[in-house]
Structure 1
């Protein structure tokens, strides 16, 4: 249901409706609350989003990235190519397995990793490429895939923001060795919290299932060293409800984005690559004098946010002797971090609210 056209317009509006509540209560009453039939059903149903790939549910998107790298055998001595313009979880997962992130620049349009920069960064220690489908726009997998194949590298798709996105008709999460999704409440669909790993390889899927469950398939018959990264059945039940709404919500996001594209004249609206299906987890524009624009929007109760103000290579854990590593010369990343501003695009918006958003952005420049 659309939120009120008057008053504050939230930047995001997670849905927790009666159907989600009823699903959670049903599972709680069943007594099967962890790694049970709801998780299995959620995995099977989500596989339809990713071209029938094997799906392994876990407790967060970060866990999905972490376990994906573990399952691929990536660890100390390895390097993983990753954009710096992303949420820190992408690089954190690399560090968590003992490998090192190699940061590369992004395309000026899509905000996704630049394939030529990826090619230049491949070296003898490179084990994988982690393209991030940022804001719901698919990375240039048509160019990244052949690079990985040429050099014998794994591709770990960070599809945390890209449920239902595609490139050339191929779904995000179905273009790499593994794909990783998040079900955090502000994502295009959620499970309160959770994640999903997708893969075409049955052995990799089995390894992932072992890793999320202390390394065991049969109770007390541990085969490998694993962790507890299981998804609860309560979360899975909520995710299943949300999944039934995903297509409709996605089309509403795309319609809302088209409206904003047509109305906003005082900012650079998000371009979409040929053959790409953008699902607009965020509707991210470029603006000059961003703080002034934000102040103008805030005064008019228009939700907005900056994703991400500090590139990962400038965050404390990734500094070298207290400063950014001089190896990382990332001009497009730095420019994006200074200019991006995400505006409301969620499915709960009315046309009147969308018009208020566009008018405010245009008014900020006058």
Structure 2
């Protein structure tokens, strides 16, 4: 592939810190995890951070910590990676999907209220591509109905809603540090919260339900005795992951500036292409630019989204689709969900593709992608 969909931005500093973690003999959760939790929480203006092995683990534990279980309902978007909905299922609750605002691809806050029932316990807004949901409206609804807000911020490291960093707004915010994310630990995630009790509950659940700070039992002054307070999970972060995250966090501002430059270059290069809808942005918020998804105006073209992907691949350009909507998957179809109930989600899905996007991308690479997109479109205009 001439230009992959994503290329990691990893340097000698990350390698050195990972080697340091290995040489310290703390391979699982240890002091580097504690440092990373503290530094990350501070970076998003939150009181507490809990490092985990994925954002999925964070979403699962957030709901359990809030007491969500069988018979409950959780409102979220159908236009997200399936993990968002799966974790609701894992808790024994029911996902209730609300269609998206096609401009932002985020949950349409104006439709949330009509989906609330006496069984609704929480709202999980997903900040698609790194652009924030309408959190003022969502908070107002949540407060009026006594609902918790769990933010799926898998795309939203560095995002701000107005002047508030994502990570400091909802009851619990769940971040992803997967390999392609703005900040990576290879695999990994983090929850942030202002609620110490919730943070402690999630810490305990993340390590088999063992009493708080059970990980220190192998330290020089650690005690061998521990108690299992509930049936927890093995969801903790490791020091090897945290070592990578510590350096990535310190480089985040640099990486974000590079991402913004790539986004700006794409937007300028594709601005005159009327057959494409570019990603939404606003000076009111800070976009993390996790993705650069474009949408084809298919009524103006003789080529489909899938054919466009094939032709870009033939030109050596890697792409992806974010996302296959949750109700399209067989598991959810069998549970009675139907795509026709979410027309805006279906329309966006049929026309969207994500272009290569990563902080080390050169202008030459951006222009090659943009020129190729324009060339394909010029051959297929109606």
Instruction: Identify the TM-score tier after normalising by the shorter chain.
Output: over 0.9
Q: Aligned-pair distance for 1:10? A: 1.2
Tell whether the 8 Å contact from 2:46 to 2:193 is kept in structure 1 after alignment. no
Equivalent position of 2:316 in the other structure = 301
Residue 232 of structure 1, aligned match among 227, 238, 247: 238
Equivalent position of 2:330 in the other structure = 316
Distance (Å, rounded) in 1 between the aligned partners of 2:361 and 2:288 = 16
Equivalent position of 2:289 in the other structure = 280
Tell whether the 8 Å contact from 1:192 to 1:235 is kept in structure 2 after alignment. yes
Equivalent position of 2:222 in the other structure = none
Q: Aligned-pair distance for 1:269? A: 0.5
Equivalent position of 1:360 in the other structure = 372
2:193 corresponds to 1:199: yes
Query: What RMSD over aligned residues (CA atoms) do the two structures have, in Å?
Result: 1.5
2:262 corresponds to 1:253: no
Unaligned runs of 5+ in 1: 1-6
Residues 158-189 of structure 1: per-residue CA shift (max 9 Å, x gap)? 00111000111111122111000011111111
Distance (Å, rounded) in 2 between the aligned partners of 1:305 and 1:320 = 26
Tell whether the 8 Å contact from 1:104 to 1:328 is kept in structure 2 after alignment. no
Residues 119-140 of structure 1: per-residue CA shift (max 9 Å, x gap)? 1111111000000011111111
Question: How do 1:1-12 residues align onto structure 2 when only pairs under 5 Å count?
Answer: 8-12=2-6
Equivalent position of 1:170 in the other structure = 164
Residues 326-345 of structure 1: per-residue CA shift (max 9 Å, x gap)? 59610110011101110122
Deviation above 4 Å: which 4+ runs of structure 1? Answer: none
Q: What is the total number of aligned residue pairs between the two structures?
A: 357
2:235 corresponds to 1:223: no
Q: Aligned-pair distance for 1:38? A: 0.3
Tell whether the 8 Å contact from 1:64 to 1:196 is kept in structure 2 after alignment. yes
Task: Determine helix, strand or coil for the equivalent of 1:263.
Answer: helix
Tell whether the 8 Å contact from 1:313 to 1:328 is kept in structure 2 after alignment. no
Tell whether the 8 Å contact from 1:267 to 1:361 is kept in structure 2 after alignment. no
Residue 13 of structure 2, aligned match among 19, 28, 36: 19
Deviation larger for 125-134 or 283-292: 283-292
Tell whether the 8 Å contact from 2:327 to 2:338 is kept in structure 1 after alignment. no
Tell whether the 8 Å contact from 2:109 to 2:138 is kept in structure 1 after alignment. yes
Tell whether the 8 Å contact from 2:328 to 2:339 is kept in structure 1 after alignment. no
Distance (Å, rounded) in 1 between the aligned partners of 2:102 and 2:117 = 24
Distance (Å, rounded) in 2 between the aligned partners of 1:196 and 1:328 = 34
Q: Aligned-pair distance for 1:263? A: 1.2
Distance (Å, rounded) in 2 between the aligned partners of 1:344 and 1:200 = 36
Unaligned runs of 5+ in 2: 215-224, 299-303
Distance (Å, rounded) in 2 between the aligned partners of 1:228 and 1:345 = 33
Distance 1:79 1:179, change over 3 A: same
Q: Aligned-pair distance for 1:291? A: 2.1
Equivalent position of 2:268 in the other structure = 262
Equivalent position of 1:179 in the other structure = 173
Q: TM-score, normalised by structure 2?
A: 0.90
2:354 corresponds to 1:342: yes
Equivalent position of 1:3 in the other structure = none
2:85 corresponds to 1:70: no
2:80 corresponds to 1:86: yes
Residues 224-275 of structure 1: per-residue CA shift (max 9 Å, x gap)? 3211111110000011111111111112111211111111124110112451
Q: TM-score, normalised by structure 1?
A: 0.94
2:206 corresponds to 1:209: no
Distance (Å, rounded) in 2 between the aligned partners of 1:276 and 1:334 = 26
